[in-house]
Amino acid sequence: MRGPNIKREWIYGWLLLLPAMVFLFAFTHIPAITTVLNSFFSTPRGRRPAKFLGLGNYERMLDDPVFWKVFWNNLWFALGTIPVSIALAIVMALWVNEKLTGRSFVRMAYFTPTVLPLIAVANIWMFFYTPGFGLFDQITGFLFGWPASNYLGNPDTALNAIIVVTVWKEAGFFMIFYLAALQAIPVSLKEAAQIEGAGRWTIFWRITFPLLMPTTLFVCVNAVINSFRLVDHIFILTDGGPDNASALLLFYIYEVAFRFWETAYGATLTVALLVLLSLLAIGQFFFFDRKVHYK
């Protein structure tokens, strides 16, 4: 009696999973494997089939100055966006969580960028950065008498200009998760601390912040993935320029694979991105493992 029953449950389980698994394998797992395989071959062109190159593509990558450029750019981009947007998200959530005059307007203002397409965001900011009559130049010119500056056309400022746009877009999104976490913290904890005479600053660092740690882990993982994934605005704002000063890894993969049509080298760069993402994911879990105690 028991035997066939269990078997039937197995079959139901597998059948229910089958459609989703077919799609997952077809567009995630199998491509991930073929990416690795293709990175050992040359790009097939016309009648010429792919040739086995061994580590040739990887040697090329390590010698490729543009790869190193976009690699460091991407790290700088991650370093510039993640801490600032998380800090801003926490501050925003703390404010919106309080009894504030016009709270719903403030919350709407913080969250609105999240619903806009990144392409639209780029269009809006493009005008801010326009040399001469863009809003930035108008403000700095009016207040400090600075001359017109080309933020997006200057290799020293292009990436930072993109970082500003990304923080604007992301902070309100992360705020939501902190807001949810803040609302789950019992008020009694804060009241008890107040009776003990703790100030706001102490309450935040000793009670609120540690209790937000699981949220910070979640947001951090998301922010890291985003810092390698968000490249849409680059297409509008700088197109990677000038001289690759604002190109990121995924943008470079797009250029190599779909502008120069070097798919094998594109696959090699994709492997590098996958390795980097996995290392960062593992690293974060070990780093936070010691600090997240409250589950």
Partner 1 sequence: MTGAADILDRVLNTLAAWALALLWVLPLAYAIWTAFHPAAYEARFELLAPLTLENFAKAWEAAPFARYFLNTFVLVTMILAGQFFLCTLAAYAFARFTFPGRNVLFALVLLQLLVMPDILMVENYQTMRLLHLVDTIPAIALPYIASGFGIFLLRQTFMTIPKELDEAARIEGSSFLGVLWKVYIPLAKPTYLAYGLVSVSHHWNNFLWPLIVTNSVDTRPVTVGLSIFSAIDSGIEWSVINAATLMTSGPLLIAFLLFQRQFVQSFMRAGIK
Considering the complex, what minimum distance in angstroms separates the CB of residue 37 from partner 1?
10
Q: According to CB under 8 A, which residues from 193 to 252 bind partner 1?
A: 194, 200, 218, 225, 228-229, 231-232, 235-236, 250
Rounded to the nearest whole angstrom, what is the least distance from the CB of residue 67 to partner 1 in the complex? 15
Q: Counting contacts by CB under 8 A, is residue 92 touching partner 1? A: yes
- Residue of 278, 283, 287, 289 interacting with partner 1 (CB under 8 A): 278
If one asks whether residue 17 binds partner 1 (CB under 8 A), the answer comes out as yes
Is position 285 an interface residue for partner 1 (rule: CB under 8 A)?
no
For residue 45, list its beta bridge partners: 48
Measure the CA dihedral 258/261/262/263, to 10°. Answer: 60
Cβ atoms of residues 169 and 245 within 8 Å: no
- The yes or no reply on residue 292 touching partner 1 (CB under 8 A) is no
* Least gap, CB of 39 to partner 1 (angstroms): 10
H helix intervals, 98-157 = 103-115, 118-129, 135-144
Cβ atoms 82, 223 nearer than 8 A: yes
Among positions 123-152, residues that touch partner 1 (CB under 8 A) are 123-128, 133, 135, 138
Nearer to partner 1, 62 or 119 (CB): 119
Q: Which residue has the tokens 């000038």?
A: 242
Taking the C-alpha atoms of residue 273 and residue 271, their distance in angstroms, rounded to an integer, is 5
Contact indicator for 208, 199 with CB cutoff of 8 Å: no
CB of 286 to partner 1, least distance (A): 16
| Binds partner 1 by CB under 8 A, chosen from 90, 159, 267, 272 | 267
Our finding on whether 191 is near partner 1 (CB under 8 A) is no
Q: How many CA atoms lie within 13 A of 164 on its CB side?
A: 14
Q: Minimum distance from CB of 47 to partner 1 (Å)?
A: 17
| Least distance (Å) between residue 2 CB and partner 1 | 13
List the interface residues with partner 1, window 98-117 (CB under 8 A).
98, 100-102, 104-117
The residue type of 214 is: P
149-118-263-248 Cα dihedral, nearest 10 degrees: 40
85 binds partner 1 (CB under 8 A): no
Residue 275 touches partner 1, criterion: CB under 8 A: no
Give the position of tokens 């449950």. 9
CA dihedral sign, ordered 137, 142, 148, 154? negative
Residue type, 108: M
Distance of closest approach, residue 90 Cβ to partner 1, in angstroms: 13
